[in-house]
């Protein structure tokens, strides 16, 4: 395959042999560069509209969109720097307009995902500003929604507009009706096909830039851990009644009425994998939520074309999911089944944490995946040793993380005693780590790491030999579903079709380069019938489980 040219990805390029070996759907990954160029061309063509909206939101006379070469594209957003004048002197300030990337969050397959993402992130910014002012986040200057509505921070509106909006808020509050937030609705129309946020500049530098240089230094870690603990404790002072996401509605009010939106839901929906979790679903107890997350991983097996490499791989994945269902009760304590629930920053990684030179946290960015989570799922960071969540397959790597987490727990206890005078969250986190619940919840939440986390960190809790013996998988996978055998046969055929399509995408000779896979191939109609039947069975099982729990 060496003579087959590599193809571009969003970052770098990929050769055919590497694409075939990747667990991600590389057919989807190969489409992203073209989709990115099309979306960026669209935004550049609307440069004047961008400048007009920023001027209006900030109440200024002029601003300037920076050149395309310095636009920043993350996993789910493009961030465009905007230069604004400094009153009374030379120079400029900088704000950022941020657009969600429709081609990365499932808008084509799940229309409304862009709006859902925006409304939940907006609600989180406003809620944190009001409820947790000590959590350092960028200023939200204004925003526009896909339905055309625009809202502006009150400090950037006229005195008259603020007074009228405040009178409306007070009247609605007096009448006992939902009260809008203090962001003022404006008489302008969002001209973009996607919504946007206008954000202030983040203070500090991304933690990842200095991570490897200082992560072994206890001085730096101590400051980071103290900052992380204070942020967590601030979030936990305001419990929420259900598991879900805050959302901003068209009346300007905030409510806990959206499904708990994490990046994995929209990331896989973007690849045509249904989450099975409606947008309006929230949870009053833990087990139905965990059950839905596991059903989501079932859908990944069913709908991702390269989800299963071969029969052995399929058996291992299905057995692991079956075992995660069977052992759920072992990791959820009954006293926390129905709460408390707290707003949790589920995407708090090194790129989203901005620090000063001594690693004191200055800003937390990217709040899009914050949602209310069970107290036992408020976990310490797994990335403290620079490993991926499924990279702890050796005793030495677990021991290294254990040392760092105990250091973190000690600091968390210190901060919790100082703030509250008593301990609550720290013992729960210690218990989750000591009992293996830490790994269970990681496996449930992160589909890509599910099997390896189960195999390396959960299965040995019950039997130290089963993880290396095929008999466990060969028996247990049958209990994934009553049509597991049909699904397995279909998935092996899916893999064969996927490899052929990938060869075609690279322009390779399919006959020469296609990996030979043994399969009992069936026609496309039967494939769909198997998927639909299996999803119906899973829905029946789920309905049976839901009848036993409060919602």
Give the residue extent of every domain in the chain: 1-42, 46-199
pLDDT reported for residue 534 = 47
> pLDDT by residue (tens digit) across 367-422?
999 999 999 999 999 999 999 999 999 999 999 999 999 999 999 999 999 999 99
> pLDDT by residue (tens digit) across 108-117?
999 999 999 9
* Local confidence band at 532 (pLDDT 50, 70, 90 cut-offs): very low
Q: Is the pLDDT of residue 141 over 60?
A: yes
pLDDT reported for residue 518 = 38
Rg (alpha carbons) of the chain, rounded to whole number: 25
- Residue 50, classified by CB atoms within 10 Å of its CB into exposed (0-12), middle (13-18) or buried (19+), is buried
> pLDDT by residue (tens digit) across 268-300?
999 999 999 999 999 999 999 999 999 999 999
- List the structure tokens of 338: 């129905």
pLDDT reported for residue 160 = 72
> pLDDT by residue (tens digit) across 312-362?
999 999 999 999 999 999 999 999 999 999 999 999 999 999 999 999 999
Q: Is the pLDDT of residue 425 over 50?
A: yes
Rounded CA gap, 545 and 333, in Å?
18
pLDDT reported for residue 308 = 97
Q: Is the pLDDT of residue 463 over 60?
A: yes
Spatial neighbors of 309 by CB under 8 A, at least 6 apart, are 495
Q: Is the pLDDT of residue 544 over 70?
A: no
How many CA atoms, within 13 angstroms, populate the side-chain half-sphere of residue 269?
Answer: 25
Mean pLDDT of the region 143-157: 90
Rounded CA gap, 143 and 30, in Å?
31
Spatial neighbors of 341 by CB under 8 A, at least 6 apart, are 239, 240, 241, 242, 243, 372, 373, 374, 375
Crossing angle (nearest 10°) for helices 524-546 and 286-303: 180
Nearest C-alpha neighbor of 52 from the set 206, 196, 167: 196
Q: Under a CB-based contact definition with an 8 Å cutoff, are residues 120 and 258 in contact?
A: yes
What H or E segment, with its residue span, contains residue 355? strand 353-355
Q: Is the pLDDT of residue 219 over 80?
A: yes
Spatial neighbors of 175 by CB under 8 A, at least 6 apart, are none
Q: Is the pLDDT of residue 547 over 60?
A: no
pLDDT reported for residue 155 = 84
Tokens 């620079």 — which residue? Answer: 386
Rounded CA gap, 383 and 403, in Å?
13
> pLDDT by residue (tens digit) across 165-217?
778 878 877 777 778 888 888 888 899 988 999 999 999 999 999 999 999 99
The pLDDT > 90 percentage for the chain reads 80
Q: Which residues are paired to 526 by β-bridges?
A: none
pLDDT reported for residue 48 = 96
Nearest C-alpha neighbor of 110 from the set 347, 275, 243, 264: 275
The mean pLDDT value of the chain amounts to 90
pLDDT reported for residue 244 = 98
pLDDT reported for residue 88 = 56
Rounded CA gap, 83 and 91, in Å?
9
Rounded CA gap, 340 and 410, in Å?
23
> pLDDT by residue (tens digit) across 441-455?
999 999 999 999 999
CA 383 to chain CA centroid, Å, is 16
Q: Under a CB-based contact definition with an 8 Å cutoff, are residues 152 and 141 in contact?
A: yes
Q: Under a CB-based contact definition with an 8 Å cutoff, are residues 136 and 363 in contact?
A: yes
């Amino acid at each position: 395959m060496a003579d087959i040219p590599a193809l571009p990805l969003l970052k770098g390029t990929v050769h055919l042999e590497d694409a075939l070996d990747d667990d991600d759907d590389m057919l989807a990954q190969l489409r992203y560069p073209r989709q990115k160029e099309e979306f960026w061309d669209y935004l550049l063509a609307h440069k004047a509209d961008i400048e007009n909206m920023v001027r209006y939101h900030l109440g200024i006379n002029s601003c300037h969109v920076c050149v395309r070469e310095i636009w920043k594209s993350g996993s789910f957003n493009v961030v465009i720097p905007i230069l604004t004048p400094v009153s009374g002197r030379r120079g400029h300030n900088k704000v950022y307009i941020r657009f969600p990337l429709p081609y990365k969050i499932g808008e084509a397959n799940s229309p409304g995902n862009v709006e859902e993402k925006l409304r939940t992130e907006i609600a989180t910014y406003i809620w944190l500003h009001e409820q947790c002012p000590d959590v350092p986040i960028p200023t939200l200057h204004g925003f526009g929604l896909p339905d055309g509505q625009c809202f502006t921070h009150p400090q950037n509106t006229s005195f008259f507009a603020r007074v009228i909006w405040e009178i409306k808020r007070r009247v609605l509050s007096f009448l006992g009706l939902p009260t809008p937030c203090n962001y003022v609705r404006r008489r302008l129309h969002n001209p973009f096909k996607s919504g946007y946020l206008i954000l202030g500049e983040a203070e500090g530098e991304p933690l990842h830039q200095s991570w490897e240089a200082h992560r072994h230094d206890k001085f730096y870690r101590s400051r980071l851990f103290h900052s992380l603990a204070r942020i967590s404790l601030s979030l936990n002072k305001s419990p929420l009644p259900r598991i879900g996401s805050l959302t901003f509605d068209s009346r300007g009010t905030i409510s806990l009425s959206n499904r708990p939106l994490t990046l994995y839901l929209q990331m896989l929906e973007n690849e045509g994998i249904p989450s099975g979790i409606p947008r309006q679903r929230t949870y009053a107890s833990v087990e139905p939520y965990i059950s839905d997350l596991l059903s989501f991983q079932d859908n990944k097996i069913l709908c991702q074309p390269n989800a299963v490499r071969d029969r052995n791989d399929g058996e291992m994945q299905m057995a692991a999911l079956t075992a995660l269902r069977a052992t759920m009760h072992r990791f959820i304590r009954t006293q926390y089944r129905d709460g408390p629930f707290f707003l949790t920053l589920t995407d708090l990684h090194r790129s989203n944490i901005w620090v000063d030179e001594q690693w004191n946290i200055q800003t937390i960015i990217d709040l899009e995946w914050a949602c209310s989570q069970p107290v036992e799922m408020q976990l310490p960071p797994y990335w403290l040793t620079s490993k991926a969540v499924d990279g702890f397959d050796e005793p030495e790597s677990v021991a290294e993380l254990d040392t760092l987490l105990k250091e973190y727990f000690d600091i968390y206890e210190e901060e919790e005693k100082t703030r509250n005078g008593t301990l609550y969250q720290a013992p729960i986190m210690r218990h989750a780590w000591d009992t293996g619940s830490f790994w269970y919840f990681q496996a449930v939440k992160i589909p890509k790491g599910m099997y390896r986390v189960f195999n390396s960190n959960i299965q040995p809790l019950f039997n130290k030999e089963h993880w290396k013996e095929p008999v466990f998988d060969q028996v247990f996978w049958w209990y994934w579903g009553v049509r597991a055998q049909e699904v397995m046969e279909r998935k092996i055929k899916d893999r064969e079709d996927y490899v052929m399509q990938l060869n075609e995408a690279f322009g390779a000779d399919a006959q020469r380069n296609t990996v030979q896979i043994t399969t009992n191939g069936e026609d496309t109609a039967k494939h769909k019938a198997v998927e639909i039947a299996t999803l119906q069975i899973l829905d029946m099982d789920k309905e049976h489980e839901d009848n036993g729990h409060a919602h």
